[in-house]
Amino acid sequence: MKSGSKWTRDELLLVINLYYRIPFGRQHSRAPEVVGLAEMLGRTPGSVAMKLNNITSLDPEESLRGVHGLQGASSLDLATWKEFQDNWELVSAESEGLWTEQLHKVAGTGQNTEPSQSTQEAEYGSVWDASNPTEKMQPTKVRLAQSFFRKVVLSAYSGRCCVTGIPIPELLIASHILPWSTHPEHRADPRNGLCLSRLHDAAFDKGLITFDEKNRLVLSATIKEHLTSAVMNYSFALYEGKTITIPERFAPNPDFMAIHRETNFAG
């Protein structure tokens, strides 16, 4: 057990990875996720919980909610936190890769249990632009960043579609508000995400639905033309004008939502 030893950057990447995936109320030494990470790192659950609370003190969004964490964050804590904010895609992929590596070590298998490209695309959707050869050359980085994004977004929305409340993970997508291919700087930013059912994700991606300034569902003329069947009414008309579920953490960035309305929505 690493009693009193200094934290490394890799360890902090793992802590911040977990920080983004669990609510403040589970940042304690008895939480299974905290205990699991402590086992990975060879540290006590108490030390991991304390570090999570140090990280909380660096989060301005938590501060706005009146959650302040524990003072005493180190300069390395701050630097690693800032790395995430400045380059979501690259650093989230690195942290997710470390997480997978640590899971392998704990399991003692030494085998690569990362999902295949086809499995990953089935779960997350296609995650790179086929016209961009640079992205195709880095499928592992892309999959890891998208894996992180999905985990954080689904966790923020408590594993439910923000429109319909569907709670089945296999039917949910961590949907990008600003498209993956055109906004690389926001690819793994959780505030660029919405948890949507596969149907509503497809409609949102194609500009057939959007959300107004008060986060209410807006239907395109194309959708409205087809509200003659029960399934279309139940899937869309039932929710028109209703406010989607907004999470306490990682609420959708209103500027991103405005861009979707202005540039993606078919009207």
User: CA of 44: how far to CAs of 34, 38, 56, 171, in Å?
Assistant: 9, 6, 19, 37
List the structure tokens of 52: 């999570």
Note whether residue 249 is domain-resident: yes
DSSP helix/strand/coil, 178:
coil
Q: What pLDDT is attached to residue 155? A: 95
In sequence order, what are the residues at sequence separation of 6 or more whose Cβ sits closer than 8 angstroms to the Cβ of residue 176? Answer: 183, 186, 187, 192, 193
Whether 222 and 240 map to the same domain: the answer is yes
Query: Are 24 and 38 within 8 A, CB to CB?
Result: no
Place of tokens 């701050």: 78
Q: What pLDDT is attached to residue 3? A: 62
Q: What pLDDT is attached to residue 108? A: 65
Last residue of a domain, one of 59, 89, 107: 107
Whether 162 and 56 map to the same domain: the answer is no
Q: What pLDDT is attached to residue 1? A: 64
Query: Are 157 and 196 within 8 A, CB to CB?
Result: no
In sequence order, what are the residues at sequence separation of 6 or more whose Cβ sits closer than 8 angstroms to the Cβ of residue 160? Answer: 166, 167, 172, 195, 245
Q: What is the pTM of this model?
A: 0.84
List the structure tokens of 201: 């994700």
Sign of the four-CA dihedral 223, 229, 231, 235: positive
Helices 9-21, 32-41: inter-axial angle, 10-degree rounding: 170
Note whether residue 52 is domain-resident: yes
- Distance between CA atoms of residues 146 and 27, nearest Å: 24
Domain range for residue 26?
9-107
Query: Are 153 and 250 within 8 A, CB to CB?
Result: yes
Note whether residue 125 is domain-resident: yes
Alpha helices in the chain (DSSP H): 9-21, 32-41, 45-56, 60-64, 75-86, 88-107, 117-124, 133-136, 139-156, 198-205, 221-225, 230-235, 254-259
Per-residue pLDDT of the chain (267 residues; tens, 9 = 90+): 666 689 999 999 999 999 999 988 899 999 999 999 999 999 999 999 999 999 999 999 888 888 888 999 999 999 999 999 999 999 999 999 999 888 877 766 444 434 333 333 333 333 333 334 344 436 688 899 999 999 999 999 999 999 999 999 999 999 999 998 889 899 999 999 999 999 999 999 999 999 999 999 999 999 999 999 999 999 999 999 999 999 999 999 999 999 999 999 998
Last residue of a domain, one of 43, 77, 107: 107
Q: What pLDDT is attached to residue 134? A: 40
Whether 103 and 132 map to the same domain: the answer is no
Instruction: Tally the domains of the chain.
Output: 2
Whether 125 and 253 map to the same domain: the answer is yes
